[in-house]
Amino acid sequence: MKILVTGANGYLGKGVVKKLLDAGSEVIATDFDDSFIDKRSKIVIENIFEIDNPYEYFNKPDILLHMAWRDGFIHNSKSHIQDLPYHADFISKMIDSGIKQVVVLGSVHEIGFYEGSVSEETPCNPQSLYGISKNALRGIVQLACQKKNIIFQWLRGFYIVGNTEDGSSLFSKIVQAEKKGEKEFPFTNGLNQFDFIDYDEFCSQVSNVVLQTNVNGIINICSGRPEKLSDRVEYFIAENKFQIKLKYGAFPERSYDSKAIWGDNNKIVEIKDRAGG
């Protein structure tokens, strides 16, 4: 199967591309730059929103894995709303032209303020422009796929832990601060509980979803359990043998962050079991 991956040079895209290639897939990787893209893929540097017929342009892929998104860590950036119609138009063009399977990266921020385990049926009430835009795109793409009887998979990503500095996550910022020799890292009180998933496991779960069609719809990319933010960050610092210390209480918790939220991982466990572990 030929897989088109958008946002392939991004923090998450680069790892997923590698996993797909390791699994023997043919990958067409596209982004504005190719600095981090695995060179085993067919790399196309392009602005996907400016292509009239992307399905033909990318040589008729079987699967679209749409991971492209800007300002993902700036939750109230206006770009989320401004770019929404471009994402919808690009994916709609792929659907109308003959793509067989559409996979899109979503976010737990679609849910909004909620406490407990998040399943496919959990209602969404997003509290940021990022969450609002992702939630809207999900509805648009799901409806379009249903009309064309196309396989639809929405990857609802939770909180990713990675120890590289080429990202904008909390953990990447800690790596950056450590490398600068900073002694303290401004932090909240760290009392919120989130579903944390290690970077490599995240990439593996996404790859596993894309390479099967038995389990579809909304699929949580998650660990399936909550962990207190302060505990996970302290462990991250310790496991990487960093010297930096957390400065608790420097920032307030964000008002739209849930006190305790985690993903129902039944679907991802089923996919893993079907793949033989």
Distance CA 4, CA 135 (A): 22
Q: What residues act catalytically?
A: 130
Nearest 5°: the CA angle 96, 97, 101 is 80
Same domain, yes or no: 131 and 29: yes
Distance CA 199, CA 12 (A): 8
Same domain, yes or no: 243 and 120: no
Where does the pLDDT of residue 255 fall: very low under 50, low under 70, confident under 90, or very high at 90 and above? Answer: confident
Tell me the CATH number at 83: 3.40.50.720
Same domain, yes or no: 135 and 56: yes
State the average pLDDT over residues 149-171.
91
* Least confidently predicted of 5-19, 76-90, 247-261: 247-261
Distance CA 149, CA 242 (A): 50
Where does the pLDDT of residue 166 fall: very low under 50, low under 70, confident under 90, or very high at 90 and above? Answer: confident
Q: What is the pLDDT of residues 64-76, one digit of tens each?
A: 999 999 999 899 9
Examine the pLDDT at 163 and tell me if it is beyond 90: no
Domain range spanning residue 62?
A: 2-160+196-224+259-274
Residue 182 lies in a domain: yes
Same domain, yes or no: 236 and 264: no
pLDDT of residue 243: 96
pLDDT of residue 167: 74
Same domain, yes or no: 91 and 173: no
Residue 254 lies in a domain: no
On average, the pLDDT of the chain sits at 96
Here the tokens at position 96 are 């109308």
Where does the pLDDT of residue 169 fall: very low under 50, low under 70, confident under 90, or very high at 90 and above? Answer: confident
Residue 153 lies in a domain: yes
Q: Residue 67: which of 24, 117, 29 has the closest Cα?
A: 29
Q: What is the pLDDT of residues 131-158, one digit of tens each?
A: 999 999 999 999 999 999 999 999 999 9
Question: Which letter does DSSP use for residue 120 in this model?
Answer: T
Residue 179 lies in a domain: yes
Same domain, yes or no: 152 and 189: no
Which residues have a Cβ under 8 Å from the Cβ of 223 and sit 6 or more positions away?
Answer: 158, 195, 196, 197, 201, 262, 263, 265
Same domain, yes or no: 144 and 238: no
Same domain, yes or no: 232 and 170: yes
Same domain, yes or no: 168 and 149: no
Same domain, yes or no: 166 and 112: no
Residue 252 lies in a domain: no
Residue 19 lies in a domain: yes
Residue 12 lies in a domain: yes
Number of domains in the chain: 2
Q: What is the pLDDT of residues 206-246, one digit of tens each?
A: 999 999 999 999 999 999 999 999 999 999 999 999 999 99
Same domain, yes or no: 124 and 153: yes
Same domain, yes or no: 106 and 13: yes
